[in-house]
Amino acid sequence: MSGSRSALAVLGLAAVFGCKEQLTTPGRCPAVCPATNLQLADTLLATADVSDTSVRGYVLVREASYLLTSNLDSLQSVALLRFAPMDSVWYSGTDTAHVGKRDSVQLTLQFLQRDSSVKQLRLVVYRLPAKFDTAATYADIAPYFADSNLVDTIAIEDTAQAGSHTFRIADSLVIAPADSGVVSLGLKLLAAGKTALTLGSGVLTSAPTLSAFVHARAPVDSLSKTFSVLPFVALFVMSPPPAQPPPGLLAIGGIPTARATVRLSLPKVVTDSNAVVRATLLLNTAAPAGGFARDSFYVIAQPVVRDYGIKSILWPDSSVSGKMLIHQGQTGPVEMDLAPILRFWGTTSGDSTPRLIVMRVYPEGSILGAVTLSGRAAGAAGPQLRVTYVKPYVFGVP
């Protein structure tokens, strides 16, 4: 064997040895297991909630991604659309065409969510004053939903699914010169039962579109064109109108959306390092959860980085959050996992942040769900925190 081959053989042996490493042995106590074991502790912090509050108005109606139409007894809502002005002239080659007759008027809507168990949905389209008051309440706007302003009644097939749907709503469209080309419509929902329908508002969703087939006036009356306009204003008004949550209750969700803030007082052992393996915020609903029938939605909790009251800055990392699923109509106790937040408070990033969490629906402004929880004023029914953590393990020296 040459020297080169010998050395290569040694290298080969070293390489083979270096490829395997298996140290793990099944423990058998007391012989081959650590002198001490991990110890879990579980504690109920009944008074962890030292203050809480709830405020409505984070996502406003005009910022929501949906338009709500509803004929529920508990909530009536109509959608209001003010479309951008339709042009009165257009150019075709060297010709200037002035708008004459408008016909074949179509309305395109994006259906987002409906209760498919309720049949014979109809959207009644009304002509509203072109420049209606965008701050109007349901009561203010209701008189315009009269037969004299009726444009059409859109029959929605019972099998209609979420997505874009186009309806011919009129054979002609007359726009008064004083309206400067602006058309405003109101949409009211009728159905065989009490229900709701949400439509895309144009915020993260498709906006309603109004289209008309336009003929030019003489002398170029042979020209025609389809005009389509998007809404300049898209909102909805509700009855009863939204209000701030009553004291002592933690309202979350709805529209304008509400958020609940809970300030926690925690013993040091709970926020030390990564000792928390499970933390559950125990809550009780104060009323059946709202939302579409048989639907469910998430309520999330996020830690506050800077406490500026209702404008507090939330920690944006989605992995540092709690989450619970709420079903429409749900009552009784509900639980939210807060362990990621408590562990965050034990890190160098989170140890100086306030022990404050904000609960909101997710995605906020895009769902109808709402839940009202009992606050600390409800005593035993108020928020409580149950924490399971590992007691500090003593490795021992040496």
Partner 1 sequence: MRRVPLVLAAVAALAAASRAAAQDSVFGIRGLGFLDRSVSARSVAVGDALAPFDPEAALNPAALAAWRSTSGWAVGSGGNRTFDAGTGTSSLSATRFPVIGFAGVIGPRVVLGVTVSDFLDRNWSVQQTDTVSPRGTPVVASDQTRSLGGVSDVRVAMAYKMSSVTFGVGLHVLTGSTVTTIDRQFPSDSSYAAYRQQQNTSYGGVGLSFGVLATPVAKVLAAASVRFSGRLKATTSDASATVPLPVELHLGTYYQPLTGVVIAATVGHAGWGTAADALQAAGQEGSRDVWNAGFGVEAALLRMGRSLVPLRLGYRWRQLPFPIPSAPGVTSPLSEHAVTGGFGFDTAGGRATVDLGLESGSRAAGGLTERFTTLTVGLVIRP
| Residue ranges that bind partner 1, judged by CB under 8 A | 1-4, 6-11, 13-18, 20-38, 40-42, 273-278, 337, 339-340, 343, 386, 388, 390, 392-393, 395-398
Nearest approach, Cβ of residue 18 and partner 1 (Å): 5
Task: List Cβ neighbours of 236 (8 Å cut-off, separation of 6 or more).
Answer: 61, 67, 68, 69, 77, 78, 79, 80
Task: Name beta bridge partners: 53.
Answer: 261
Token output for 168: 């011919």
Nearest approach, Cβ of residue 26 and partner 1 (Å): 6
Q: Are 211 and 228 in contact (CB under 8 A)?
A: yes
Nearest approach, Cβ of residue 291 and partner 1 (Å): 25
Report the sign of the C-alpha dihedral through residues 364, 365, 367, 372, in that order: positive
Nearest approach, Cβ of residue 320 and partner 1 (Å): 13
Q: Which helix (H) or strand (E) holds 234?
A: strand 231-239
Nearer to partner 1, 70 or 302 (CB): 302
Nearest approach, Cβ of residue 323 and partner 1 (Å): 12
Nearer to partner 1, 245 or 340 (CB): 340
Cα within 13 Å of Cα(228), Cβ side: 8
Nearer to partner 1, 193 or 392 (CB): 392
Token output for 388: 């399971």
- Residue carrying structure tokens 């895309």: 200
Nearer to partner 1, 291 or 383 (CB): 383
Please give the Cα distance from 295 to 325 (Å, whole number): 10
Nearer to partner 1, 61 or 320 (CB): 320
Nearer to partner 1, 215 or 278 (CB): 278
Nearer to partner 1, 25 or 94 (CB): 25
Please give the Cα distance from 318 to 77 (Å, whole number): 33
Nearer to partner 1, 27 or 193 (CB): 27
Nearest to 156 by CA among 130, 181, 131, 188: 188
Nearer to partner 1, 45 or 276 (CB): 276
Nearest approach, Cβ of residue 278 and partner 1 (Å): 5
Q: Running DSSP on this structure, what letter comes out for residue 225?
A: E
- Residue carrying structure tokens 């009536």: 76
Nearer to partner 1, 205 or 388 (CB): 388
Nearest approach, Cβ of residue 2 and partner 1 (Å): 8
Q: Are 98 and 91 in contact (CB under 8 A)?
A: no
Nearest to 151 by CA among 134, 163, 168: 168
One-letter amino acid for residue 208 of the chain = P
- Residue carrying structure tokens 């030292």: 50
- Mapped onto helix, strand or coil, the DSSP state of residue 87 is coil
Exposure string for 144-161, b = 16+ CB within 10 A, e = fewer: bbeeeeebbebebeeeee
Nearest approach, Cβ of residue 5 and partner 1 (Å): 8
Nearest approach, Cβ of residue 198 and partner 1 (Å): 33
Q: Are 383 and 49 in contact (CB under 8 A)?
A: yes
Nearer to partner 1, 16 or 176 (CB): 16
Nearest approach, Cβ of residue 270 and partner 1 (Å): 14
Nearest approach, Cβ of residue 349 and partner 1 (Å): 17
Nearest to 259 by CA among 290, 296, 299, 292: 299
